[in-house]
Every structure is written in structure tokens, then in C-alpha cells.
């Protein structure tokens, strides 16, 4: 498990509920007063009680997620936001939920771990094989350069020492590059892996679970034999690794498609996003086109990292709640809603002003407004499937270690 005991460094710092260091607010930030934080914490406790009640009546978290009759209730609760204390348990479980008739849509971390074990592959062996100093200009060298760029304001990643999350992130990314030689490593994967490490191994996540009246981790301890639930011992980092594998390879989330050579998957996803924006907000889309402002100029990292690189965790975590259960539909909904929330501002700007506004947008985004707008967007799964087929690109052999063009 990640060692988070940086108390000497943290004594004079103020961290938000997600573990990020709070700097003095910029002029454009929405103030987060003590009263607002108290309201958010009260809402989280309320959701915690609701999750405890609905899973208790069903016979446990695993049973609740598995029952087809409760899928609608599960989706409703997930869309409202999973309590922080539950994400360590619920994220792996959501990947196991079959939301379509085809069972192939549901494949989680346990499946990939078991498949690898049958082939004699373990996380410990992958870590051992990839330990040591990386050769110059190797994939591991690229990973090493990206470590210090990943969440430098988070308490786990703010210093490059072996006692922080940096060491865990290094091992997870190196192990994956060895595990999946066709993909190896691509910029953007570092944020996804770090996000999962924070929620699975991070002290703030564990403390949230311990503070929960209905601590879901207690049921995890009792059910360690249940493959898709997380354990609470030193294997938390390994749990994060296999959840990372599932996030990249599972049919529902398939992030690996975005990271292939030349990153054609990211270009496909940006094209889908562009088409959905044109359909739902034609005037905004037309204005941005007239100003030659295209999604690959500002939204590549939104898509490639599923918002985890730039946006506040209050938004990121809720998107990932839905991503694990529903796949790409909520990602596109939120991407469109982010622009829709500021349509009036965007339509009044020329190219340079647009780019400046969009660059700063993640820091000023109104999370509640975005999710309110996203919930009203009528984006259908079959529409996304049709657009994905329409924009399908052939694989490329270009350099995989750089983001998509623009």
C-alpha cells in the first residue's frame, strides 16, 4: 500500500477532500467556503447511508450489483455520485455489472488477473522484471519523465521519493508496459493510473471509508474470496494495477483503443464528440467551426484521460463512477455539457479568446451545472455506436508516446 505519512511536509498545508493542496484561489475560481464544504460532506454522508441501506436490503454490494431487477436503481445512484468511501469497492464491482444482454460487456479486474495467472503472469513478477534504472530513450524513460508531471499538487505525488505515490505509479506503469507490449505506454495513461492509485491506495480514500458509518471496506474484508472486490492488505497497489488493466482493456471502457500507435482511437472519439456537439448545440458548434476551433485543439486530454488530467476531482470522480458502469456515453454527455454550460460566453469569442477560455475552463467549471445539463442530453448508445463505426480509422504506426495532433 502507498505510504502517505508525509506529516512533516503536510503540517502547514491545507488539502481538499481529495488530497489536493489548496492554493490561494484565482479570481475565476468558484469559492469553496467552509459552509459549502460542510454541505458537500453532509450530502456525501446522506448518500453513504442510502448506499448502505440499498445494499443491505439486497444482501450485500455484490448481490445488489448482480440483480437485474436493481440495475435501474444502481444506475440512478451512480449517476447521482458514489460516496467517496465506497469507490474503492464499487468501481471494480461496476465493471462486473452486465448492463446489456451481451455478457461480454461486463469484464472486470478479476477476470484479467485470473487470465494472467493462468499464463504464469503476476504483478509481482512484472514489477521485478521492470525494476531498476530505465535505459535512455526507452519506454520506461518516457514514463520516468512523466511521473513528476502527474498531480504534483496532490499529497501522494508532490515529491519524487519512494515513500510517495510516485513509486507506486512508476511500478504500475512499468508493469503495464511489460504486460501489454503492443500498447506499452502513452502519455495520458499516467493520469488514469494515478487516479486509480489515489482511490484504491490513497490515505484520503481509506480514511473516508473508515469514517463512513457504513464502512463498505468491512464487507470487503469479509468477502476477500470474492474476486472482483478489493482487499485491504498490502496488495492494494496490485488491485489498482489490475483495475487499470481492466479500464484499458474491458469492452465497456476500452481505453487501450485510444493509446495505440498513432492514437487513431483518440481521433475517433474526438470526431464522435464533435458530431454529438453539432447535433445537440448546432449554433455553438457552427460558431466554433467558423473560428477554426476544433475539439483536437482543446479536448484531446479531456477524452484521452477521461477528464482526469485537468478537471477538479469533484467532476472527475463522478464521471468515472458512470464510466465504469455505462462506458463512453456519460463521457460524451459531460464533454458536451461542459461546453453547453458556457455557450453564451463561447459564442461571443473569436479564435484567440476561445482558446484562452477553453484552456482555463477546467479550473472554473461549475460541476453541479455540468452534471445537471448532462442529465438532460438525449444521447443514445446506438447513436454513439453508429458514429464510432462511421469515424473508425485504421491503425497507425506513428510515435505512440505523444498526444494526438494539436
Q: Please state, in angstroms and rounded to a whole number, the distance separating the CA atoms of residues 87 and 196.
A: 10
pLDDT tens digits along 14-64: 777 788 877 544 444 444 555 666 777 788 888 888 888 888 777 788 778
**DSSP code of residue 15:** B
Q: Give the DSSP per-residue string, 74-92.
A: HHHHHHH---GGGHHHHHH
Give pLDDT tens digits for 156-202. 888 656 657 899 999 999 999 999 999 999 999 999 999 999 999 87
Confidence at residue 376, expressed as pLDDT on a 0 to 100 scale = 96
Least confident of 64-73, 127-136, 252-261, 361-370: 64-73
Q: Quick one: which H or E segment has residue 126?
A: helix 123-129
The pLDDT value given to residue 238: 96
Query: What is the structure's pLDDT at 134?
Result: 78
Give the model's pLDDT for residue 69.
60
Q: How far apart are CA 316 and CA 369, in angstroms?
A: 14
pLDDT of residue 220: 43
Q: How far, in Å, CA of 385 to CA of 134, rounded?
A: 40
pLDDT value at position 73? Answer: 84
**Looking at per-residue confidence, does 365 or 394 come out higher?**
365
Residue 20 has φ and ψ, to the nearest 5°, of -95, 140
Q: What is the pLDDT of residues 223-254, one digit of tens each?
A: 333 333 344 335 899 999 999 999 999 999 99
* Cα 167 to the center of its chain, rounded Å: 20
CA 281/CA 268 separation, integer angstroms: 20
> At 317, is the secondary structure helix, strand, or coil?
helix
Q: What is the pLDDT of residue 405?
A: 36
Q: What are the DSSP calls for 190-212, one per residue?
A: HHHHHHHHHHHH-HHHHHHHHH-
- 1-252 CATH: 1.10.8.270
Q: Are 72 and 99 in contact (CB under 8 A)?
A: no
Q: Is the pLDDT of residue 85 over 80?
A: yes
The ranges of the chain annotated as CATH 1.10.472.80 are 264-390
CA–CA gap between residue 111 and residue 120 (Å, rounded):
14
Could you tell me if 146 and 186 are in contact, meaning their C-beta atoms sit under 8 angstroms apart?
Answer: no
Q: CB within 8 A of 75, min separation 6: which ones?
A: 99, 325, 326
Q: What is the pLDDT of residue 390?
A: 95
Region of poorest pLDDT, from 131-140, 266-275, 319-328, 329-338 = 131-140
Q: Where in the chain is the domain with CATH 1.10.8.270?
A: 1-252
Residues in the chain: 406
Tally DSSP H helices, then E strands, for the chain: 23, 0
d(CA 361, CA 110): 37
Q: Per the structure block, which three cell numbers stand in for 373?
A: 445539463
The SS3 assignment for 176 reads helix
**Alpha-carbon span 54 to 343, nearest angstrom:** 38
pLDDT value at position 7?
43
Predicted confidence at residue 17, as pLDDT, reads 79
CATH code, 264-390? 1.10.472.80
Which stretch, 66-70, 84-88, 105-109, has highest mean pLDDT?
Answer: 84-88
155: confidence class by pLDDT, cuts 50, 70, 90: confident
- Which DSSP letter does residue 107 get? -
Cα(25)–Cα(29) distance, rounded to whole angstroms?
Answer: 6
Task: Please give the helix or strand (H or E) that residue 47 lies within, else none.
Answer: helix 34-58
pLDDT at 219: 45
pLDDT attached to residue 163: 56
Backbone torsions φ then ψ of 247, nearest 5 degrees: -60, -35
E strand or H helix at 279: helix 264-280
Whole-number percent of the chain with pLDDT over 90: 56
pTM of the model: 0.86
CA 235 centroid distance within chain: 21
Of the segments 71-80, 138-147, 343-352, 393-402, which one has the largest average pLDDT value?
343-352
DSSP annotation of 231: P
**Short-list 139, 146, 173, CA closest to 160:** 146
Amino acid at each position: 500500500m502507498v505510504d502517505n505519512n508525509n506529516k512533516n511536509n503536510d503540517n502547514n498545508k491545507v488539502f481538499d477532500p481529495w488530497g489536493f493542496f489548496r492554493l490561494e484561489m484565482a479570481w475565476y475560481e468558484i469559492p469553496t467556503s467552509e459552509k459549502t464544504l460542510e454541505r458537500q460532506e453532509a450530502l456525501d454522508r446522506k448518500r453513504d447511508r442510502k448506499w448502505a441501506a440499498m445494499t443491505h436490503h439486497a444482501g450485500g454490494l455484490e448481490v445488489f450489483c448482480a440483480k437485474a431487477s436493481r440495475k435501474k436503481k444502481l444506475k440512478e445512484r451512480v449517476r447521482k455520485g458514489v460516496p467517496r468511501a465506497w469507490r474503492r469497492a464499487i468501481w471494480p464491482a461496476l465493471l462486473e455489472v452486465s448492463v446489456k444482454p451481451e455478457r461480454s460487456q461486463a469484464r472486470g479486474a478479476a477476470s484479467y488477473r485470473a487470465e494472467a495467472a493462468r499464463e504464469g503472469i503476476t504483478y509481482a513478477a512484472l514489477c521485478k522484471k521492470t525494476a531498476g534504472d530505465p535505459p535512455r530513450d526507452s519506454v520506461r524513460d518516457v514514463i520516468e519523465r512523466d511521473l513528476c508531471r502527474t498531480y504534483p499538487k496532490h499529497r501522494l505525488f508532490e515529491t519524487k521519493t519512494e515513500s510517495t505515490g510516485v513509486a507506486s505509479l512508476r511500478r504500475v506503469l512499468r508493469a503495464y508496459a511489460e504486460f501489454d507490449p503492443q500498447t506499452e505506454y502513452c502519455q495520458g495513461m499516467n493520469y488514469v493510473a494515478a487516479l486509480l492509485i489515489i482511490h484504491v491506495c490513497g490515505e484520503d480514500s481509506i480514511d473516508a471509508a473508515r469514517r463512513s458509518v457504513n464502512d463498505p471496506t468491512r464487507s470487503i474484508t469479509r468477502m476477500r474470496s470474492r474476486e472482483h472486490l478489493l482487499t485491504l492488505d498490502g496488495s492494494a497497489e496490485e488491485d489498482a494495477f489490475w483495475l487499470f488493466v481492466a479500464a484499458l482493456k474491458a469492452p465497456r471502457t476500452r481505453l487501450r483503443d485510444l493509446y495505440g500507435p498513432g492514437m487513431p482511437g483518440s481521433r475517433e472519439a474526438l470526431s464522435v464528440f464533435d458530431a454529438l456537439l453539432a447535433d445537440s448545440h448546432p449554433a455553438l458548434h457552427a460558431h466554433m467551426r467558423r473560428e477554426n476551433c476544433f475539439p483536437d485543439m482543446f479536448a484531446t486530454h479531456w477524452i484521452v484521460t477521461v477528464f482526469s488530467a485537468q478537471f477538479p476531482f469533484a467532476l472527475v470522480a463522478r464521471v468515472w463512477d458512470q464510466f465504469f458502469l455505462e462506458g463512453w456515453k456519460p463521457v460524451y454527455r459531460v464533454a458536451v455539457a461542459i461546453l453547453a454550460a458556457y455557450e453564451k460566453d463561447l459564442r461571443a469569442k473569436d479564435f484567440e479568446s476561445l482558446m484562452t477560455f477553453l484552456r482555463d475552463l477546467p479550473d472554473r467549471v461549475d460541476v453541479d451545472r455540468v452534471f445537471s445539463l448532462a442529465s438532460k442530453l438525449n444521447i443514445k448508445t446506438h447513436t454513439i455506436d453508429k458514429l464510432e463505426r462511421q469515424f473508425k480509422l485504421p491503425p497507425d504506426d506513428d510515435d505512440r508516446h505523444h498526444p494526438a495532433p494539436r
